[in-house]
Structure 1
Amino acid sequence: MIDREKYDKTIALLVDQFVRSRSGSVLPIVALALPVIIGVAGLGADASMWMAKKRNLQQAADSAILAAGWELAQGTAGNMNSAATKEAAKNGYEPEENGELLLQYIRDEDGGAVWGVTLSQDADVYFTKIFSDNPVHVTAYAEAFVGGVEGDFCILALDPTADGAFSTSGSVIVNAPSCGIAANSTSDNAFDLGGSSSVTINDVRVSGGYEVGSNVDFEYGQLRAHQSPLKNPYEDLEIPSFSGCDEHNKHVTSSTTLSPGVYCGGISVSGNNDVHFEPGVYILDGGDFKVTGGGELIGEGVTFILTGNGNNYAGLDISGSRYVQFSAPEAGNDWAGITFFQDPDAPDRDNLQNKLLGSSGVVFDGVAYFPSQGLSFGGNDTTTAGVDPCTRLIARTVTLSGNPMMGNNCTKYDVKDIGLPRVKLVL
């Protein structure tokens, strides 16, 4: 006979053990959780690939906006979009993957403009396809500032093909460590140092090649050959309108002071005398600004505009044993920074050059601009050592002679810099 009490206790114990036991319960839990676990793992794997895609797209956006900025800086704004697309594709942008490139002007800023580019394209899904077959759309954005130029060039020779577009004549001593020199000529000897010269300058940039004579002592910052030409910063400057003549064929043989005005037939100075120029604008319509002899030739805050018509355009011929000191109008004035400006329509004088020379010294602050003719610049006075002038020589060709004094101290004259366009990422 069954012991009822014992039987009830046994059944109760078995039920209690069954209720308390967790054996075998993991499997259904795992079965229920497995899709979630796989989904999370797959999402993590896909997300890491999406992030990599976005990083690559950001690099492409940075490259694209810089390429577009360079086109704008070079004056070819119509090529901005194609340049951006091409550069983005080089860096991983794939427009066929539902890609889109949007280039847009953002705002004006600090003498330039900020432009932005947005890139977007699809990123594939792999593990997360169990939830959705739709691709993930990733985007990247970049901004660049375009404006002004960067460079410390004091001299720019504009001729695109000339031998010796920049050159030295004779035994030249140049000590201008703050000044760079650039030549846009593609000639093999676009930059030519000869004689027994001693030249200390900053950077050199030439579109062609260079030659340095065996007797030349040459120190420089960086020298770059076969580079793209630099932009002429004054190519948009125009001759002002004028009429009539205040003077005709002005010839000075004694010490005097001249006033601004229109000098038809030019100005000539000869003999041993001192000539001072009052501040202002002097327009020479035909003839030349020709100076010989000794004495002083001084003008502060002056601009000489050399123009004319046909074959009679004014040129510059200052030489002799004079002490020459000219400075441009300072910032805030009309023609700020411009000391000599020759009409771009002036015909090339073949081998003849405009001259700004003086064996008793030349102290020159400002821009000497001769876009269609050559310029010879120099002086032989050592008493002006230590003076830090503002030198901007922009001419078809430039030749240095003697002991020319040059510098980059141009803040108060508000001159335009010679250099590379400034394009930089800002976002």
Structure 2
Amino acid sequence: MRKLFDKIWNDERGNVLVVMGATLPLFIGAAGLATDTIQWTLWKRQLQRAADSAAIAGVYERIQSDTEAGVKDAVDKDIALNHHTGIALSTGYPQVSRLADSGDMRQRVQVVLSVARPLSFSSMFMTSAPEIRATSVAASVPGTDEYCVISLEDTATTGITGSGNAGVEMDCGMITNSTAPNSAIAKGNVTMEASVIASVGGIQESDNWVVDKYDPYVSKMEDPYANLNPNLDELDCDTEKVVVRGGPNETISVAPEINGDYDFAASKSANGGDAINCFSGIDVGPSETVNLPAGVYYIDGGNVNIQGTVTGTDVTIVLTNSDSASNATIGTFDMNAGASLTLTAPTSGDWAGVAVYQDRRAVDQAKQTPNKINGGSTGIITGVLYFPNQGLAYNGDGTSTFVCTRIVSRRVTFSGNNTTGNTNKFEDDCSHAGIPAFEGGRLIRLVA
């Protein structure tokens, strides 16, 4: 018997046909499995891309409204645009979840998608079509850019505008919470140079922007001074309110018994070394100079109008009102052309780094810019200009020195004339001046 098998085994007639017949099912099976695997992988990749895109869309909507229905609608709309498998989602999908914050990750949204469709080869051996599932989680995460200018405008109104012949040069960036398609605009002959221009809304590129990167559709920037409020109990406004007026090179020094306007001819020692901290306003004429001693100057419902020269070290000017009513009048800050303001904010204490502060009870004046400050070459502001609910126009011909000026305002408009080659220059690292680094512009990223 063994000899018979050896004979058959060594017989070469028809061997190839026998071997091919025996292995053909294996070749067909391998080809079928390979085809199914490629098709399954393609559907899985397309489904994962759709889930990723939908999760990101959900986070954007959660930042804006944070409602379950709004996030679900945003996810559905995105899937309608970006689900390219050609297979209808399984019943019960998409599954959308608003997850809780986790560490630095906020506004997390999870999207789960699933499709079921028979595979051409595997379906011969399976009683039901396989489920292909994709899960994605997106969140807003901290950004790493540092900003010199923050616009808190959070409607569809433009937040940052450069116009005229203004020149701006920054070692840091600018960001606005505006949701407008043109949330930041640079027009005319303006040159806006910064490390980054970022926005919750859209930004149209132009030759007026000289930036390392455009960063539209970032998460909302938080107000860095949202918890800073004037302590109205510190205001001594009952009897000693005065309007700050000054002649040439005079220094504020107020005796407690003086009411109304005062020329500050008396020495500070007339009041035992303490200056009154509550004023009706500051009004400095074109030929006048006022030197402000160190301290916090509360302006009780009045305005600041500077046409001459004002200087001060370790000084904060606070536009507020001793009346705690929500509709109490809050004044504005107007520094006219030709005026000079050399102001340095304190480096410690509650008002560290803040040069000018406007109470957030100030009424927004419908896209106008009631506050005006010249960034001219004869005056330098070291500190933060804070106008959270009104616009600020920052004008001037510029200075040749980089300065630690920061702007946090509802809207910011840069204008002026840099035809002489001067520009308003902003330095990035101002920790020595008590000014924190404003990092933010939270980014929307996939996290799982």
Q: Normalised by the size of structure 2, how large is the TM-score? A: 0.67
Query: How far does residue 288 in structure 1 lie from its aligned partner after superposition?
Result: 1.8
Corresponding residue of 1:46: 36
Indicate whether 1:199 and 2:220 are aligned.
Answer: no
In the alignment, structure 1 segments of 5+ residues that lack a partner are 1-11
Matched residues in 2 for 1:358 and 1:418: separation?
25
Q: Deviations over 1:137-171 (max 9, x none)?
A: 222233334134576572638496889973546x6
Corresponding residue of 2:258: none
The 1:167/1:198 distance shift into structure 2, 3 A limit, reads closer
Indicate whether 1:166 and 2:182 are aligned.
Answer: no
Corresponding residue of 2:424: 405
Kindly tell me the number of residue pairs found equivalent between the two proteins: 397
Corresponding residue of 1:6: none
Deviates more, 1:228-237 or 1:87-96: 228-237
Rg larger for: 1
1:338-353 superposed matches below 5 A: 338-348=354-364, 353=370
Counterpart of 1:96 (choices 89, 101, 109) is 89
Query: How far does residue 423 in structure 1 lie from its aligned partner after superposition?
Result: 0.7
The structure with the largest strand share of the pair is: 1
* Matched letter for residue 102 of structure 2: D
The 1:73/1:362 distance shift into structure 2, 3 A limit, reads farther
Deviates more, 1:152-161 or 1:359-368: 152-161
Q: Normalised by the size of structure 1, how large is the TM-score? A: 0.70
Matched residues in 2 for 1:141 and 1:168: separation?
46
* Matched letter for residue 296 of structure 1: T
Corresponding residue of 2:320: 306
Indicate whether 1:237 and 2:226 are aligned.
Answer: yes
What is the alpha-carbon root mean square deviation over aligned residues? 4.9
1:17-416 superposed matches below 5 A: 17=4, 20-22=7-9, 38-78=28-68, 79-89=70-80, 90-92=82-84, 94=87, 96-98=89-91, 99-103=93-97, 105=99, 108-110=102-104, 112=106, 115-148=109-142, 152=147, 154=149, 156=151, 158=153, 166-168=161-163, 172-176=166-170, 178-180=172-174, 184=178, 191=185, 193=187, 199-202=191-194, 220-221=210-211, 231=220, 233-234=222-223, 237=226, 239-240=229-230, 242-243=232-233, 245-247=235-237, 248-252=240-244, 253=246, 254-256=250-252, 263=278, 265-268=280-283, 271-278=288-295, 282-294=297-309, 296-299=311-314, 302=316, 304-307=318-321, 312-319=329-336, 321-327=339-345, 334=350, 338-348=354-364, 353-357=370-374, 361-379=378-396, 382=399, 385-396=400-411, 398-401=413-416, 405-407=424-426, 409=428, 412=431, 413-414=435-436, 416=438
The 1:335/1:102 distance shift into structure 2, 3 A limit, reads farther
